[in-house]
Amino acid sequence: MRFAPDVILDLTPLPERAGRVPFGAVLHQLLRDGFEPEASRRALEAFNARAGEALLRPGAVDDGGFLVDEDVLFPEEGPWWWVLQQGEARWTTRLEVDAVPVVAAFLRAAGQAGSLEEARAAWPFGDEDWRDSLFDSAPPPGPWPEPSGPGLYRREHASVRVCSRTTSVLVDPIALQRRLPHIGSAPGNLGPGAPGALAVTHGHVDHWHVPSLLAHGGVPVLVPRVPRRNLLTMQDFSRVLDVCGEPVRAPAWGETVWVGDIRVDVLPFYGEQPVPDGPPLARGLRSWGNCYRFTTEDFSCVLLVDSGTDPDGRMEDVVARSCREHGPVDAVLVCQREFLSPFFGGLGHYWAALPWTRLRELYADSQAGRLASATAGPAGVARLCAAAGARYFLPYANGFEGVGRSISDVGWGLGEPSEAACGVVVREHLARLGASTEVLDWAPGDVARFERGALRLHRYASIRGG
């Protein structure tokens, strides 16, 4: 059963004070002011006056420190919120922790319901007007291909189903994250048989969405280990899913987990932090995440999502070490988009994890064209493929525009290059490195099957037609 395409769902704890800081608006104003000290101080004071509380620290302009307080940098777990929205109607409910399992059970039951009546019967609340419009009884117009052998089954954005001969792992499912462009057209079907596990890479909204995980009906979830909640990782993934009654495991970097006959090596997630280089962030401030190496009887691959480099490490080194220990991989999957942190609009709170003096340095670098990407970008993709000794590169995590449709803009409609155009640049960098990795172009809904040791792409249209 699938929720109607215009239904927005969320179930999440949100830190109260950090949630009131207008991060995007503050960044926009600081950029307009060119990080000039007096203008920036006045802007910060004005934001505090409008908020009626001291959310920001204008004194950071003098002492060079953080522009937010400690309780914003390291928030306690906030209250839980259940959000349900359809069209102009919005229902937002603050939940006590002991009420969270009730909502979680509804999301699990609705996601697994085989009929409209069964889905409606799972509704545990009193307002039946909501219940009667939530679900779409029609089958999705373009269901995901059913697993039919070892390979990589591409889904929405960064979601990939890694299939062995007997089981599978589904990474970063966000089919119910309808706040993102075109996700409402993503199918919700799993095909016959649930995956052996779900795996989450990191906590950004295009990778971590609790209702999307719960809709898979109690499948075990691998999540990053979070030593301490902080501004860059506001939720402890294991704690959140445990409250929801979901089976969850948070292995440390370097651990190996088996999902049936699939070996899952948990790799560090370096990159997509507020800075790609220079001094380390303050202790405990980090967007915690995992990259993964999957090894099956028929193929191996590394899923590197939005990783790249940061002051704590480089993914090239991680991949090279994995290959020294376990051999080269068949395929590398990684995002091609470049994020010029900390002034990348999609991560509008990242600036607050840096002190004033560092922000001014980075702004000067930005103005001079020296600001480096926190993600790999096309040049970094080529280096990762070379380090992995990869036979194939498969782009992913570059957005979603519909099943069977190629990604025309890796910036989600912001006018950035297409996935295919990025692939041309990756090929050029691979040629300069003398690497033999083959760059493949595929779309969500396509399947990369490994047959007799070689990868064969099966296009969604041909799968549906056949």
Say how many CA atoms lie within 13 Å of 444 toward its Cβ.
Answer: 26
Residue 123 lies in a domain: no
Range of the domain at 271: 142-338+373-465
pLDDT over 70 (residue 192): no
β 135-136/89-95 pair status: unpaired
DSSP state of 233: B
Contacts of 396 (CB under 8 A, 6+ apart): 154, 157, 158, 160, 303, 333, 334, 335
Question: Per-residue confidence at 139, pLDDT binned at 50, 70, 90?
Answer: low
Residue 32 lies in a domain: no
pTM attached to this predicted model: 0.96
Per the CB < 8 A criterion, the answer to whether 171 and 155 are in contact is no
Other CB atoms within a 10 A radius of the CB of residue 183 amount to 20
pLDDT over 70 (residue 25): yes
Rounded-to-integer distance, Cα 41 and Cα 220, Å: 48
Which CATH number characterizes residue 228's domain?
3.60.15.10
CA dihedral 339, 343, 346, 352 (to 10 degrees): 120
Residue 13: asked if its preceding bond is cis (omega within 30°), the reply is no
Other CB atoms within a 10 A radius of the CB of residue 444 amount to 28
What is the DSSP track for 419-445? HHHHHHHHHHHHHHHT--PEE----TT
Residue 124 lies in a domain: no
Other CB atoms within a 10 A radius of the CB of residue 254 amount to 10
Residue 424 lies in a domain: yes
pLDDT over 90 (residue 146): no
C-alpha distances (whole Å) from 176 to each of 184, 374, 405, 412 are 7, 28, 19, 17
339 burial (CB, 10 Å; 0-12 / 13-18 / 19+) is: buried
CA 197 and chain centroid, separation = 17
Q: What is the mean pLDDT of residues 64-68?
A: 97
Q: What is the mean pLDDT of residues 121-132?
A: 76
pLDDT over 80 (residue 126): no
Question: Per-residue confidence at 89, pLDDT binned at 50, 70, 90?
Answer: confident
Q: What is the mean pLDDT of residues 60-76?
A: 96
Residue 198 lies in a domain: yes
Question: Per-residue confidence at 398, pLDDT binned at 50, 70, 90?
Answer: very high
Say how many CA atoms lie within 13 Å of 125 toward its Cβ.
Answer: 19
Percent of the chain whose predicted confidence (pLDDT) is above 90: 81
pLDDT over 90 (residue 451): no
pLDDT over 60 (residue 466): no
Number of domains in the chain: 1
Percent of the chain whose predicted confidence (pLDDT) is above 70: 96
Per the CB < 8 A criterion, the answer to whether 174 and 156 are in contact is yes
Residue 266 lies in a domain: yes
Q: What is the mean pLDDT of residues 429-454?
A: 95
Start-end of H helices in 149-299? 210-214, 237-243
pLDDT at residue 128 in the model: 67
What is the DSSP track for 373-398? PSB-HHHHHHHHHHHHT-SEEEE-SS
Per the CB < 8 A criterion, the answer to whether 11 and 97 are in contact is no
Rounded-to-integer distance, Cα 418 and Cα 378, Å: 12
Residue 239 lies in a domain: yes
Three-class DSSP category at 281? coil
Question: Per-residue confidence at 88, pLDDT binned at 50, 70, 90?
Answer: confident
Question: Average pLDDT over the chain, rounded to whole?
Answer: 93
Residue 189 lies in a domain: yes
β 160-163/151-154 pair status: antiparallel
pLDDT at residue 46 in the model: 97
Asked which of 51-55, 186-190, 242-246, 328-332 is least confident by mean pLDDT, the reply is 186-190
pLDDT over 60 (residue 56): yes
